[in-house]
Amino acid sequence: MLKNKKILITGIANKYSIALGIAKAMKNQGAELAIAYQNERLLKNVQSLADELETNVLIECDVSSDESIKESKQTLIDEWGTFDGFVHSIGFAPSDQLVGNFVDVTTREGFKIAHDISSYSFTALAKEYKDILNPNSALLTLTYLGSVQTMPNYNVMGLAKASLEANTRFLAASLGKDNIRVNAISAGPIKTLAASGVKNFRKMLSQHAERAPLGRTVTQEEVGNTAAFLCSDLASGITGEITYVDAGFNISAMPLGEHSE
Ligand code: NAD
Ligand code: 0WE
């Protein structure tokens, strides 16, 4: 599905990262990969994962810095010249923003950082890489239901994901003329590093399984397979879309339960 496609994967922190599930699925479909990592601190972890993915193209990119993004572009030019798309699997808000009552805990600075790292960075990467992306390229980002429905503690990340989803549509409109598609996957909750500090996350997973039509949560592999499809030419007619990979949770207002017909 992805033979002859060169794709940059951002957002791998460790073996639990959704981005690693995506990288593995894309590799299985024949893609050639480059791995971007946030900083030196993560490099050791990411190096061994890159070995498994059989790539030696490792690129430092901290999306909070325009300079770092610029440098990553130069590395891409040196390694590949041009390429066929990237996966944006990055989200962050200061931890104090993600616990407590939304109106009380949200600060100007917390709001700014959440939107900068979790939404603007998608625009920033598209802007920087645009002229080295081949026609038929595909960009992909990861979002969450908190963009359109409320829940405890997700707070300002919900606003940032709403922005990211609008970003997906505006980038799709903007890059359509260059034949670059832009899509998002809204994943169900998965136990990753970004979820590890979250209060009652285990309870969220069990409630998800209870309400979801498929009666379970989803895996990094399932998100990865959908990502591979969306970035392949099989999805050539799809752009600006939010695809839910959540075992159907978002369509269900109430679980049918074990005893209903
Ligand atoms: P993760 O912690 O493995 O990945 C988050 C990544 O963001 C890390 O690799 C981290 O290095 C990167 N990052 C943070 N700040 C950065 C910066 N300044 N520059 C570059 N990279 C930076 O967790 P994950 O759950 O795999 O998250 C990946 C994406 O999936 C996020 O956008 C998250 O919001 C989204 N998502 C997660 C879930 C879930 O339940 N885990 C559900 C839906 C969507
Ligand atoms: O998007 C996410 C994770 C977002 C996230 C997580 C952290 C924890 C560590 C962003 N920034 C930080 N900053 C930190 O310092 N998810 C969809 C997973 C997630 O996070 C939640 C959830 C779910 C689901 C937070 C509260 C409630 C539910």
Instruction: Map out the domains of the chain with their CATH numbers.
Output: 6-242 (3.40.50.720)
Cβ atoms of 10 and 61 within 8 Å: the answer is: yes
| Rounded distance from Cα 91 to ligand 1 centre (Å) | 5
Is the minimum distance from the CB of 218 to ligand 1 under 6 angstroms? no
pLDDT score of 199 = 87
Cβ atoms of 189 and 217 within 8 Å: the answer is: yes
Q: Which atom of ligand 1 is nearest to the CA of 141?
A: 32
Q: Which of 37, 120, 129, 144 is catalytic?
A: 144
Around ligand 2, the residues with Cβ closer than 6 Å are: 91-93, 95, 98, 144, 153-154, 157, 189, 194-195, 197-198
What is the phi/psi pair of residue 85, to 5°?
A: 145, 170
Instruction: Render 148-217 in DSSP notation, one character per residue.
Output: TS--TTTTHHHHHHHHHHHHHHHHHHHHGGGT-EEEEEEEPP--SHHHHTSTTHHHHHHHHHHHSTTSS-
Mutate to test the pocket of ligand 2, among 98, 116, 119 (most ligand atoms within 8 A of CB): 98
pLDDT score of 97 = 97
Q: What is the pTM of this model?
A: 0.98
Distance CA 39, CA 218 (A): 29
pLDDT score of 15 = 97
Beta bridge partners of 58: 35
Tokens representing residue 70 in the block: 């610029």
pLDDT score of 197 = 83
Mutate to test the pocket of ligand 1, among 20, 35, 38, 205 (most ligand atoms within 8 A of CB): 38
| Rounded distance from Cα 169 to ligand 1 centre (Å) | 20
Question: Does the active-site annotation cover 144?
Answer: yes
DSSP at 89: -
Sheet bearing 6-9, strands edge to edge = 58-60, 32-37, 6-9, 83-88, 133-143, 181-187, 242-245
| Rounded distance from Cα 170 to ligand 1 centre (Å) | 22
Mean pLDDT by 10 residues, the chain (261 residues): 98 98 98 98 96 96 98 98 98 97 98 99 98 98 98 98 99 98 99 92 96 98 98 98 98 83 51
| Rounded distance from Cα 120 to ligand 1 centre (Å) | 14
Question: Does the active-site annotation cover 37?
Answer: no
How does pLDDT run across 91-141, given as a tens digit for each residue?
A: 999 999 999 999 999 999 999 999 999 999 999 999 999 999 999 999 999
Tell the residue nearest (CA) to atom 29 of ligand 1.
89
| Rounded distance from Cα 235 to ligand 2 centre (Å) | 29
pLDDT score of 36 = 98
If we measure between CA atoms, which residue out of 187, 186, 174 comes closest to residue 218? Answer: 187
